Every structure is written in structure tokens, then in C-alpha cells.
Amino acid sequence: MLSYIVRRVFNAIITLLVVTAVTFGIFFAIPKAIGTDPALLYIGKQSDPAAIEGIRQKMGFDDPIYVQYGNFLKGIVAGREYSNGPDVTDCPAPCLGYSFSTDQEVTPLLLEDIPVTLSLALGAAVLWLIIGISFGVVSALRRGSFVDRAAMTTALAGVSLPVYFTGLLSSAIFVYALGWLPESNYKPFTEDPGQWFTSLILPWITLAFLFAATYARLTRANMLETLGEDYVRTARAKGLTERVVIGKHALRSGLTPIVTIFGLDLGALLGGAVLTENVFNLRGLGYQALNAIRQNDLPVILGVTLIAAFFIVFANLIVDLVYGWIDPRVRLA
């Protein structure tokens, strides 16, 4: 088990390195390809040659790409110093560099976004797990019933609805037409729990609706498969009550795939729910990412990509470990 964990962690780190290297390479290559200078991006409104040269030196844009990448990695691990003589900027570890467009340090910038994304993703996850799984299980147990058909029709509609449409539609209805909810204006939980909650209700529901639909379909399919398994028949043949058969024997293995998928979904979402955050003006990682991409703000793009990849890889890792814990066949193999 230990070597298994070590191998997985090692793989995860390699994946992260590859992701950053690829991202770094692409965004380094792109400005070159279209003939622009990243220093110009920093300068933004000016084109004073001295200023550009200063930035170029300070940021090390003249170095070969592998040196720049090396410095980037070093910054994450040990922090780094940007300097062009008199002007020294210290960027403590984990340093992800400075934003081209706002000139802010990327790390705190993104650290501020993480709680937003976290609130969105976790809140939605709770909702979609509860709704998706319970409807999926009920549908599977009452296959062909009215509940099953209604739930599955809704779920199919759910997976067919783009989140940017449901988002707009729900706020048009609940915020604008009915006025049940205020315009969303995110406040951190620590500052104003009430506003935090009201600003997240619609995003949660919107996001959860999509995922709940997927999870309901998935749960139903898994449960149906599990219910057809020989060991469930065995459990029944032992005379166990239906409660125990379903609740203990069928659910346990029927939901195992859900664990995997949930981990991956959550990981992906934590890297930024780009569409939902943008539709609802939630300044999370996805919002930040999109903005950064539009402004070619390489350090921020890199930072978000890294964090997103980290969450995905980390979630993969957790899923693998949890899987090993749930399923003795994996653990003891």
C-alpha cells in the first residue's frame, strides 16, 4: 500500500510538471508567434523603451525559455526575487509571479479566489450528491415507475441544459421577475454569512442541477447493475431484509463508482467553474482564469492552470486512495 501511495504521488507530481511545462511553453510560444513582447503586456499603457527594458530585465524575458521555466519552478518552491538593479521585488514562496495586467502578486490573488470557488463547488456538490444519488437510487429501485420516469426525464433535460442558459434563466426568473433573491454579490462567509448564502443560492442550484442530473442517471445505472449482481441475490437468499440488502450490500458497491466520479468532478470544479462563475459574476478561479486568458496575462493563466491541475491530480490521488480503502480487491491486490 505504501509503495502504491508513493507511486501515485510521484505520478501526480510528474503530471503537474508536464501541465505547467506545456502551459508555459504554449504561452511563451504564442507571444513570439504573433510577434508581441510579454514586457509590453506588463507595461500596458506605455511604450517607453526604458520602461520596457526595465520590465524585460526584471522579469527575465530575455532568458531562454528553460531558464524562465526553471525560475518559475524555483519561485514556487523557494520564492524568488525580481530585480533590475535598484528595483527589487521579493516574491515569497509559493511564488507564481506577478500579474501582467494588474501588477499584483499572483499567489495572493489566486488565494483570494479559492474560497469563492470552494464555496461554489462544495455547496453545489452537497446539493447534487443528495439530490442526484437519492433520485438515482429511487429510480433504480422503482424501475419503470412514475417516479423513475419523471426523474429520468428531468435528468435528461438536466444534462441537455447548458449551465449558462439555466444560470441566466434562473436569475431572470428568481432575481428579476419574481424578486425572490437579490442580485448576487458575493461576500465571504466570514464577512457576511447571509449575503454569502443568498449570493450563492442560484449558482449552487444551477450547477447542482446539471450535476445532479448526471449523477441521478449514473447512480441509477450503477444501482441497476449492482442490483443484478449475484452477491445481491445472495444477500436476498440469506433472508436479509430489503433494507439491509439495498442499504448495505447494493448501495455500498453501487455507489463506489460515484465516489470516483465525484472526486474527479469536484477536482475539476475546484480548478474553476468557468461558466458558472462568469454567469454569476463570482470572482473565483474560473472567473480569474477567463479574464487572464483574455488579457494574455500569462502568470495568472499559469497560476490558475497549475491550481486547477493540482486539484484534478489531487482529486485523482484521493480517489485512488479512497478506492483502495473501500474496495479490498484494490487494496489487497
Residues 47-66 touching another protein, rule: CB under 8 A, are 47-48, 50-51, 53-55, 58
89: which 3 cell numbers? 521585488
| Site for another protein, residues 89 to 108, rule: CB under 8 A | 89, 100-104
* 150 is an interface residue for another protein by CB under 8 A: no
Which of 62, 63, 81, 242 forms a contact with another protein (CB under 8 A)?
Answer: 242
Is 261 near another protein (CB under 8 A)?
Answer: yes
Between 6 and 157, name the residue whose CB sits nearer to another protein.
157
- # of chain residues touching another protein (CB under 8 A): 131
Beta-carbon contacts of 5 under 8 Å, excluding residues fewer than 6 positions away, are 321
Residue 321 lies near another protein (rule: CB under 8 A): no
- Taking CB under 8 A as the criterion, the residue among 92, 193, 228, 247 binding another protein is 228
Q: How far is the CB of 214 from another protein (least distance, A)?
A: 4
Query: Which among 269, 218, 271, 226 has a CA at the least distance from the CA of 246?
Result: 226
Residue 126 as a binder of another protein (CB under 8 A): the answer is no
What SS3 string covers 77-91? HHCEEEECCCCEEEE
Q: CA-to-CA distance for 23 and 12, rounded, in angstroms?
A: 16
C-alpha cell at 234: 445472495
**Residue numbers 263-302 binding another protein by CB under 8 A:** 264-265, 268-269, 271-276, 278-279, 281-283, 286-287, 289-291, 293-297, 301
Helix (H) and strand (E) counts in the chain: 16, 2
CB of 253 to another protein, least distance (A): 6
CA distances from 242 to 138, 232, 237, 238, 250 (A): 13, 10, 11, 11, 10
C-alpha cell at 62: 530575455
Query: Nearer to another protein by C-beta: 73 or 181?
Result: 181
**Least gap, CB of 168 to another protein (angstroms):** 5
209 near another protein, judged by CB under 8 A: no
Specify the stretch interacting with another protein by CB under 8 A; choose among 2-10, 60-68, 69-77, 158-166. Answer: 158-166
Site for another protein in 7-36 (CB under 8 A): 15, 18-19, 23, 26-27, 30, 33-36
The length of the chain is: 333
Q: Which is nearer to another protein, 194 or 329 (CB)?
A: 329
Q: Of 1-9, 44-52, 61-69, 70-78, which part binds another protein (CB under 8 A)?
A: 44-52
Q: What is the b/e burial string over 284-320, where b = at least 16 CB atoms within 10 angstroms of the residue's CB? A: bbbbbbbbbbebbbbbbbbbbbbbbbbbbbbbbbbbb
Instruction: Pick out residues in 164-203 that bind another protein (CB under 8 A).
Output: 164-165, 168-169, 172, 176, 182-186
Residue 83 binds another protein (CB under 8 A): no
Task: Confirm if 95 and 293 have CB atoms less than 8 A apart.
Answer: no
Of 230, 287, 285, whose CA–CA distance to 253 is shortest?
230
* Cα–Cα dist 90/102, whole Å: 17
Shortest Cβ 280–another protein spacing (Å): 8
180 to each of 39, 124, 176, 177, 202, how far by Cα in Å? 48, 20, 8, 9, 11
Residue 205, interface with another protein (CB under 8 A)?
Answer: no
> Around 74, how many Cα atoms within 13 Å sit in the side-chain half-sphere?
9
27 vs 72, beta carbon nearer another protein: 27
